Structure 1
Amino acid sequence: MTDRPSLEVEFARAEVRVSWGHAQRLLAAGVPATALWRPTLVGVLDGTLVVPAGWADWEEDAPGWAEIRDMVQIDPEKPETWQPVYGTCPVLGLEQVEHAVVYGHALQLHRHPLDWIRARGSGACIIDWSCDPRRWIGQAPAITCATPGLARQLQNRMEECARWHRPRITVAQSWRAAA
C-alpha cells in the first residue's frame, strides 16, 4: 500500500490551485474559459500546470474525472514541450477514444496537450510516442489528425509498431509429420 493519494485526489487538489495568473496565461494561449470550469482540464502541481490523463465523466449529475492514470506538465508558452508526471498513460482523452469506438465516429487527434485543452478535451492527444498507438487509439473507426505532419507521424509509428509485433508463425511438429 502506498502513502501517496490517488491521482483523482491529487488532481482535485491541483484543480483548486489554478491562480488568476495561471488562468491568464492559458487564456492568452487560446484556451477557452470553459476549460477552466469544473471539472477543469488543468491544475497546478508543484507550481506547474498539469493536465489529467485518464477517463473523464461528463455526466451532468456528477461531472469529473472517473479515473486518472497520469498527469502531464505543460507550459502554454512552449506548447510543443510537455512531460508526463508518472509516465503511466500515453494518451489524453481516453474516454473520447472509447466514445469514437462505441458510436462509430472519427477520433480527432491533436498535436499537443495545449491543442487538446483548446478543444476542451474533445478528441485525443498522444503524449508518449514510444507507445503503440494501435493499442491506445487504433480501435477508432477513423482518426482525423490536426495536421499533415501529425498524420505522417501517426502513420509511421503505426507501421513501425506493426513490424515490431509480428510473431513468428510455425506449424506444430505433429502436423508436419502427418503431411
Structure 2
Amino acid sequence: MIADALASEMRAMAGTVTFRHVEILRGMGVPVPSLLARDLIGVTKVETDSRDFWQPCPTGKTMVVTPLFEVGQTVDLIVFDLKAPDIWYLRTGRGWALGAAHIEDIFRNIGWAETQQWVDLCATPLDWLRGGAAGACVTQWTDEARRTLRMHQQVQVTSPKFARALRLELTRPPRIPEIEVRGMQSRAA
C-alpha cells in the first residue's frame, strides 16, 4: 500500500535529522523534539521538477520533509528549503492540507458551545511546523480545498498579507466548462 510505503519512508527521513539540523530548525522556532517523536519532521535530498513535485536524489538538495495525512494515513510527503519556505513540493499530489484533521474537527464543532469554532490556518509548511503541527496549512489550492474552507464560519491567520492572499483564493470563482448545444456551431451563452 502506498500509505505504508510513504510512512516507512518518512520514518527513515526522520532518522536522518542531525544535531546540526535540530539547531537550525530550533533557531527558526520549530519545536523539533516533539515533532521528531511523532515522525512529523525529517530531512532528505531531493530533485524537484517544474510541476512542484519531488523525488529522492542522493546528490540533490537537502530539504525538510513533513508528512501529509488523510484519515490517519500518510498520503503525501511535503518538502521545502529552509532558505525559501514559501515554496514547497509534493511527492504524490494526494491530499490538500497539512493538518486536514483540524479542519474536519472544527467543522464538526460548529454550533457546539465550548469548542473551537475557527480554523487556524498557516501560510507555509514551516509555519505549521513552528506551531507544533497544530492548525492546518493548505498545500494545494484545489476545488475541494476552497469548498471545504468556505464552509467554515471563521479562519484565523497570523499575518495581513496571508489574510489578503487567502481572501483572494477563496473568492476565486469555480471553473465552468464550455457548454455547447449539440448539432449547432455556436456555444451557449
Give the TM-score of the pair, scaled to structure 1.
0.74
Aligned residues: 156
Aligned partner letter, 2:81: D
Q: 1:5 to 1:55 in 2, by over 3 A?
A: closer
- The question of whether the paired residues in 2 share the 8 Å contact of 1:41 and 1:52 is answered with yes
Q: Secondary structure at the match of 1:48?
A: strand
Q: Which runs of 5+ in 2 are unaligned?
A: 46-61, 111-116, 180-189
Partner of 2:30: 31
How far apart, in 1, do the equivalents of 2:19 and 2:154 lie?
Answer: 39
Quote the residue 2:98 is aligned against: 92
What is the TM-score when the length of structure 2 is the normalising length? 0.70
Contact 2:122–2:136 under 8 Å retained in 1: yes
Aligned to 2:184: none
**CA gap 1:34/1:89 in 2 versus in 1, 3 angstroms:** same
**Other structure's SS at 2:85 match:** coil
Amino acid at match of 2:66: V
Aligned counterparts, 1:10-159, within 5 A: 10-46=9-45, 47-55=62-70, 66-104=72-110, 105-129=117-141, 131-132=142-143, 133-159=145-171
* Inter-partner Cα distance in structure 2 for 1:140 and 1:34: 32
Aligned CA RMSD, in angstroms, stands at 2.7
Deviation at 1:39, TM superposition (A): 0.5
| Counterparts in 2 of 1:121 and 1:165: CA distance versus 1, 3 Å | farther
CA–CA distance in structure 1, aligned partners of residues 178 and 162 of structure 2: 28
- Residues 135 and 45 (structure 1), Cα distance of their counterparts in 2 relative to 1, 3 Å cut: farther
Query: Alignment identity in percent?
Result: 26
Aligned-residue offset at 1:165 = 5.1
For 1:82 and 1:38, the matched residues in 2 are separated by 23
List runs of 5+ in structure 1 lacking aligned partners: 57-65, 169-179
